[in-house]
Each structure stands twice: as C-alpha cells, then as structure tokens.
C-alpha cells in the first residue's frame, strides 16, 4: 500500500496509518484527503486487519486543512472541497472496525475533526486540541464534537477557539487516555492488539449500538440491544469463544 502523504504499516492483526507531511505539520491537502479515504476503504475490507490506529507521530498530529492550498482555490471549488472532506470523515466515522487516534502534539481544525470521528483516543501529554476555523471565516464541524462533550461545551470549543491541553481533554471526555510522549504510541498499539482479538461481528454490532441507541427512546434502545445480543448469542462463534475462555481458565497457572 504505497501513498504519497501517508505511511501504512500492518502489525499482527492491526494497521497503523501515519500522516506523513512533516514539513507542512501534516496539513491535510487534497491528495491526503483522497488517500485517507482510499486507505480506510482498503483496510475496511482487509480481513487480516481487525483494528486501525491513525497518528501523526510524536510531535504533531495535524495542523488541520492545508490553508495555503485552500487560499489558492477558486470560490466555485468550495463544494468539491467540502465533499472531499466529508468523504474521508464519513468513511472513518462509519468504519465497522475500531479506529484509535494516537495524538501527539497539535490537532487543529481539520486535524481535530479527524480525532473526533475515531472510536478511541490516546493522547500524549503534549497534545493540544483546537478549533480556530472562525478566525479564517468559516465554520468548524460541530456534530461529532457535540456527541462527545455535549452541545453546551461544544459551542464553547468551536466559538472561542481556545486550545485544550491533553489533561483538560481527558476531563472533558475528548480522549480516553493521556500518556507520556514516549509511551502514548505503545499504549495505542496495545489497545489495538487487544481489540483485534475481539469478535469482528460482535464489534460491528456494538458500533451500530453506540451510534443508534443514544438517539432512541430508552425502552426502544433496550429492545434493540436485546435483539442484537440474541442474534450474536445464537452464532457458533460465541460458543467457540466461550469454550476458549473456559479452557484458559482451567489451564494450570505457571
């Protein structure tokens, strides 16, 4: 899998996608937008990949959209720009497999958007999140952020555009773990390895539940979760996995 703006590495049963425009602070160019969609589309159908990490490396996740490139675009190309942004963000947001963002350094604007469409986030203590888009005269994407921190806090984040450090992001629920700069990738990879051992079908259904039930009536939500659980319970895979767990528990400990 050869890309101009990304480095893709497969490890065991998971893949690491690294943003690779270091001299532009991983600014998301037109080429990177296309490649992000292509790589996630390819990894989604790769049966050997059970989980995906996206990162920018230790020092910067992404400075956001490529402002230099956008500044040169004619006004009538705005629709195409937004379509290309929505294409890769929706692909990641709707992935059937778990996606982990490993964030070192800044995640601004479009980089922040990229984080909010992932399932889990491991941040370095150096991570900084910010939505500065209003300074450039256009709006940040609000929906994924509001689903994480709530409408009131999301309004504050997108309207004021103030930077959020890693520990404050953890307090707000924007990230799941904060680790030292030398450890955050290791923690993300351990998390990916753990997730890769889970049932792919069960994980796909769990992601559907996480997406659907928050918008449902509480009784309807309980009913649909029960129905999905019954469907998974009837599968042979469930029986085999239970046998495997029980056999490990019976094995003598060394």
| pLDDT score of 150 | 94
Residue 170, pLDDT score = 98
pLDDT along the chain (254 residues), means of 10: 92 96 95 96 95 96 90 77 90 95 97 97 98 86 93 95 97 98 97 90 80 80 79 65 62 57
| Predicted pLDDT at 236 | 62
The token duo for 24 is: 């532009």
Q: What is the pLDDT of residue 238?
A: 56
- Give me the pLDDT at residue 81, please: 79
What is the model's pLDDT at position 234?
Answer: 64
What pLDDT score was predicted for residue 237? 63
Full-model pTM: 0.87
**Contact between 119 and 99 (Cβ < 8 Å):** yes
CA atoms within 13 A on the CB side of 65: 24
User: In the chain, where does DSSP find H-type helix?
Assistant: 30-44, 67-71, 78-93, 110-116, 143-149, 151-160, 166-172, 184-196, 200-212, 218-233, 236-250
């Amino acid at each position: 899998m050869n890309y101009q703006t990304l480095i893709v590495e497969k490890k065991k049963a998971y893949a690491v996608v690294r943003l690779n425009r270091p001299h532009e602070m991983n600014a998301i160019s037109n080429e990177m937008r296309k490649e992000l969609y292509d790589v996630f589309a390819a990894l989604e159908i790769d049966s050997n990949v059970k989980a995906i990490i996206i990162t920018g490396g230790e020092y910067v996740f992404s400075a956001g959209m490529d402002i230099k490139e956008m500044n040169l675009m004619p006004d009538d190309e705005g629709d195409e720009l937004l379509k290309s942004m929505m294409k890769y963000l929706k692909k990641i947001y709707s992935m059937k497999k778990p996606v982990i963002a490993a964030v070192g350094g800044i995640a601004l604007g479009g980089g922040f958007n990229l984080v909010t469409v992932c399932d889990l986030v491991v941040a370095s203590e150096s991570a900084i999140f910010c939505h500065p888009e209003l300074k450039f005269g256009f709006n940040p994407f609000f929906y994924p952020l509001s689903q994480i921190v709530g409408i009131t806090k999301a309004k504050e984040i997108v309207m004021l555009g103030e930077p959020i450090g890693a520990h404050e992001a953890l307090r707000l629920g924007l990230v799941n773990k904060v680790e030292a700069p030398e450890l955050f990738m290791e923690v993300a990879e351990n998390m990916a390895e753990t997730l890769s051992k889970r049932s792919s079908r069960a994980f796909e259904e769990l992601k559907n539940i996480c997406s659907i039930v928050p918008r449902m009536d509480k009784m309807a939500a309980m009913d649909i979760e029960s129905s999905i659980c019954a469907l998974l319970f009837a599968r042979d895979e469930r029986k085999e996995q239970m046998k495997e767990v029980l056999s490990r528990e019976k094995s003598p400990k060394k």
